[in-house]
């Protein structure tokens, strides 16, 4: 899997340095020719390597979640990719019966390969990684993301504003890097103490969830219940998970 992501990373790195066709899927939702190219490349390579699994990719999702699925996000952080900001990656997560088995997140710009296999720990460029030991929110650097529906005063928008109001004064700071997969990888390697976001899709989190768990952290929904795709996601080093949930507010 790591070799496949490394090869896909070469396509991403080339696109990052060159002019590219950019399409709008929505008002602020971008897709480039490289999202499509990388998804195609991953589909071909992964379907040979994992013949029993159905590949579910952001740019070709049909609406059904198979029992044995490989969730791929060919470029997570497309807006960063387009604006030449280095927080952009390829994310691949292998799941069976609602449980993650294997996951990799590769940022080819920084050449950082995050990898985890169930029961075998989490790695960054072949070194073992673990979540940090931050105990108090006031010492915690957190990450979050904003949903696409940010102009409406709908539930998602309200969630963003309210959680920011509840958390920001009580933390070291909150980052918004623009790639949910990288945010989760950074919780796994201890750069962030926690991460939360509303309205993410399976391919955004499929690899990152396993990384955080294998690195000793915790992933739940906003109520502290086991995370299911579609829930608000809350990931942390585990130690400050309850404090984070409490301060966020129970939605």
**59 lies in the site for ligand 2AM, by CB under 6 A:** no
- Tell me whether strands 54-57 and 89-96 are parallel, antiparallel or unpaired: unpaired
**194 lies in the site for ligand 2AM, by CB under 6 A:** no
**163 lies in the site for ligand 2AM, by CB under 6 A:** no
* Sequence-distant (≥ 6) Cβ neighbours of residue 163 within 8 angstroms: 144, 196, 248, 249
When CB distances are held under 5 to 8 angstroms depending on the partner's kind, the choice from Ca ion, ligand 2AM, none that residue 148 binds is: ligand 2AM
The DSSP letter of residue 27 is S
Q: Which residue is nearest to ligand 2AM (CB)?
A: 145
When CB distances are held under 5 to 8 angstroms depending on the partner's kind, the choice from Ca ion, ligand 2AM, none that residue 14 binds is: none
Annotation-wise, does 52 bind a ligand? no
Taking the complex as a whole, the smallest distance from the CB of residue 190 to Ca ion amounts, in Å, to 23
Using a 10 angstrom Cβ sphere, with 0-12 exposed, 13-18 middle and 19 or more buried, the burial of residue 145 is: buried
Annotation-wise, does 73 bind a ligand? yes
Annotation-wise, does 126 bind a ligand? no
Rounded to whole angstroms, how far apart are CA atoms 191 and 223? 24
Q: Which residues form the interface with Ca ion (CB under 5 A)? A: 58, 73, 75-76, 204
| CB atoms closer than 10 angstroms to residue 33 | 12
Candidates 178, 194, 208, 216; binder of ligand 2AM (CB under 6 A) is 178
Contact 8, 73 (CB under 8 A): no
Candidates 32, 78, 132, 220; binder of ligand 2AM (CB under 6 A) is 78
Contact 204, 73 (CB under 8 A): yes
**202 lies in the site for ligand 2AM, by CB under 6 A:** no
Rounded to whole angstroms, how far apart are CA atoms 18 and 15? 5
Rounded to whole angstroms, how far apart are CA atoms 76 and 65? 20
Taking the complex as a whole, the smallest distance from the CB of residue 41 to ligand 2AM amounts, in Å, to 16
Q: Footprint of ligand 2AM on this chain (CB under 6 A)? A: 28, 58, 73, 76-79, 145-148, 178-180, 197, 204
Q: Which residues are annotated as a binding site for Mg(2+)?
A: 58, 73, 75-76, 204
Q: Which residues are annotated as a binding site?
A: 58, 73, 75-76, 204
């Amino acid at each position: 899997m790591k070799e496949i992501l490394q090869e896909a990373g070469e396509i991403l790195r080339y696109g990052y340095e060159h002019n590219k066709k950019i399409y709008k899927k929505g008002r602020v939702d971008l897709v480039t020719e490289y999202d499509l190219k990388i998804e195609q490349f991953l589909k071909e390579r992964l379907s040979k390597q994992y013949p029993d699994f159905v590949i579910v990719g952001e740019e070709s999702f049909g609406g059904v979640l198979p029992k044995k699925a490989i969730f791929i996000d060919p470029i997570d952080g497309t807006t960063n990719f387009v604006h030449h900001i280095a927080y952009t990656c390829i994310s691949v997560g292998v799941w069976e019966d609602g449980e993650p088995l294997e996951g990799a997140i590769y940022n080819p710009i920084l050449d950082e390969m995050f990898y985890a296999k169930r029961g075998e720990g989490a790695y960054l460029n072949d070194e073992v990684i673990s979540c940090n030991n931050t105990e108090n929110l006031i010492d915690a650097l957190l990450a979050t993301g904003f949903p696409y529906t940010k102009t409406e005063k709908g539930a998602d928008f309200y969630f963003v504003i309210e959680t920011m109001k509840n958390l920001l004064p009580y933390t070291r700071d909150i980052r918004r890097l623009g790639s949910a997969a990288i945010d989760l990888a950074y919780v796994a390697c201890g750069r962030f103490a926690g991460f939360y976001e509303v309205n993410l899709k399976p391919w955004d989190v499929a690899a990152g969830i396993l990384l955080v768990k294998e690195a000793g952290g915790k992933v739940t929904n906003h109520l502290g219940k086991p995370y299911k795709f579609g829930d608000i996601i809350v990931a942390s080093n585990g130690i400050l998970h309850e404090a984070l949930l409490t301060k966020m507010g129970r939605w």
